[in-house]
Amino acid sequence: MTLKLSLPPGVESRLKAAASRNGQPADQYAVQLLDQHLPPAESNGAAAQMLLRWAEEADALTDAESAENEQILRAIDAHRLSDRKLFTHLLRGKNR
């Protein structure tokens, strides 16, 4: 893709100076800067959708399934080598 930008003179001179210090042409350096500072590609979209589905499924759990899940989370927390528990925010306010 070719993109034409009008840079203010100060930005242009800073870009050229930084590119020169890095031994690159200004256009190559500009592409590198853009790549470093733009949000990552939507590679996490599938994972985000899966988490949303899990949240919806969690809302539909029976009481028995919910209790079993809580028991598993408590067991994971109880057997951690670290004192930092992972699931306290999920179990807060529930009987331990």
The helix/strand/coil state of 27 is helix
Measured between its terminal Cα atoms, the distance across the chain in Å is: 58
* pLDDT number for residue 93: 63
pTM for the structure as a whole: 0.44
Q: Give the whole-angstrom CA distance, residue 47 versus residue 27.
A: 34
| Averaged pLDDT for residues 4-31 | 94
Q: Hey, what are 77's tokens? A: 């927390």
Mean of pLDDT values over 44-49: 74
Q: What is the predicted pLDDT for the residue at 94? A: 60
